Amino acid sequence: MRSEFNRFAFTLIELLVVIAIIAVLIGLLVPAVQKVREAANRMSCTNNLKQVGIALHNYEGTNGMFPAASTGPASTSAPTPPFRHGWVAYTLPWIEQDNVRKAYDINANWYDPVNAQVILIPIKTYSCPSADFGRMATSTSMNVYGRRTAAAWDYASVNVSSYAPGYSGTTNAARRNGVMNDRLGSAVAEIMDGLSNTLMVSEDANRPQLWVMGKKRTDITADTSNFPNGNVGPGEVSGGVWAEHQKAVSVGGASADGTTTVGGGPCAINCTNDWELYGMHPGGVNGLMADGSVRFLKSGMAIDFLAALCSRAGGESPISD
């Protein structure tokens, strides 16, 4: 004898209501997850910069001054004969990369064949987790050091460009110096504006990809006149190799739309990663101060305020971010 029972099923309207509720919940959940992930990435980026600060202060304590942003011909802070290196190479032992430092030949240029394999090694401490890890950048200035491909990085020492308001001309040349400059380091005593008021290193993330105003741009060519270290195509920006000797970002600002840097402009932070301060964090970038602390520099900071922050002995008043 077959038993009778009732069958229950969703109606089409009920099913659509359930789907709509699930869609709303997902819509609420995904931004929350992304926000938590970015908060974790920003904290990790902050920790990276703190490690960089410790490494730079250890170098200063050992050598009596911070390293030059770059060494090379006519440099007094490089081996004899002087070779082309960036400050990153000198900090490797203090960021738990002593094996890389031992494999890296400091008595040869960074781009020489003896270093070709070493510079392919990505250095996690020098990569912001909000950026793409494992990127490879290519330096292409054939008349200077030939074409070399190496692991990319996201942090740069900073100084001031002559494009920045109030810093043009030879009379302001010394005021444009940061803590680490081309062939010129500095001792703590030379940071006259105060360690806590002087920006030493900040983000210039995701090179060799060209990013403008929060978007990856593959349709335009970077403005390379300010740092003519190679021909780049659409969607590319020069620099970004961790071993490269060109290590300092000269802050001068960009146009309001972020597409032009030559001549400077009012847009100071997160406008373009074409040799200006740029982070993958919403609202600003992380910056390492000369005292080893890390501050979050907001995108709305005026270019003259940022320039004052990058100058080590410009005589500017302390400023707030």
Q: Which of 90-99, 147-156, 248-257 has the lowest mean pLDDT?
A: 147-156
Q: pLDDT at position 310, please?
A: 95
Convert the pLDDT of each residue in 193-232 to its tens digit.
999 999 999 999 998 889 999 999 988 887 766 555 556 6
Q: What is the pLDDT of residue 307?
A: 95
Residue for token pair 């909000």: 130
What is the predicted pLDDT for the residue at 36? 63
Query: Mean pLDDT of all residues in the chain?
Result: 85
- Indicate whether 1 pLDDT > 60: no
Q: What is the mean pLDDT of residues 293-316?
A: 92
Given a cut of 50, whether residue 313 has pLDDT beyond it is: yes
122-153: pLDDT as tens digits: 999 999 999 987 788 766 544 445 567 889 88
Pull the structure tokens for residue 42: 């920003």
Residue 69 has what pLDDT? 92
Q: What are phi and psi for residue 131, nearest 5 degrees? A: -95, 175
Q: Judge whether residue 272 has pLDDT over 90.
A: yes
H or E element at residue 102:
helix 98-103
Burial 84-114 (b: 16+ CB within 10 A, else e): bbbbbbbbbbbbebeebbeebebeebbbbee
pLDDT band (50, 70, 90) for residue 117? very high
Confidence of residue 10 (pLDDT cuts 50, 70, 90): low
At 25, which helix (H) or strand (E)? Answer: helix 12-63
Burial of 312 from C-beta contacts in 10 A (0-12 / 13-18 / 19+): buried
213: nearest Cα among 268, 165, 172, 175: 268
- Averaged over 18-45, what is the pLDDT? 78
DSSP state of 81: S
Residue 6 has pLDDT above 50, yes or no: yes
The residue whose two tokens read 């006149």 is: 225
Q: 3-state class of 90 per DSSP?
A: helix
**Residues above pLDDT 90, as percent of the chain:** 55
Given a cut of 50, is residue 288 above it in pLDDT?
yes
Among 303, 259, 52, which residue's Cα sits nearest to residue 153? 52
Spatial neighbors of 11 by CB under 8 A, at least 6 apart, are none
161-170, 239-248, 271-280, range with the lowest pLDDT: 239-248
Asked if residue 319 has pLDDT above 90, the reply is no
* Cβ count near 276 (within 10 Å): 30
pLDDT at 143: 45
Rounded mean pLDDT of 154-170? 93
Higher pLDDT, 12 or 288: 288
Q: Return the H-helix or E-strand segment holding 201.
A: strand 199-203
What pLDDT was estimated at residue 201? 97
Return the pLDDT at 142.
Answer: 40
32-91 pLDDT per residue, tens: 666 667 788 999 999 999 999 999 999 999 999 999 998 887 666 666 778 889 999 999
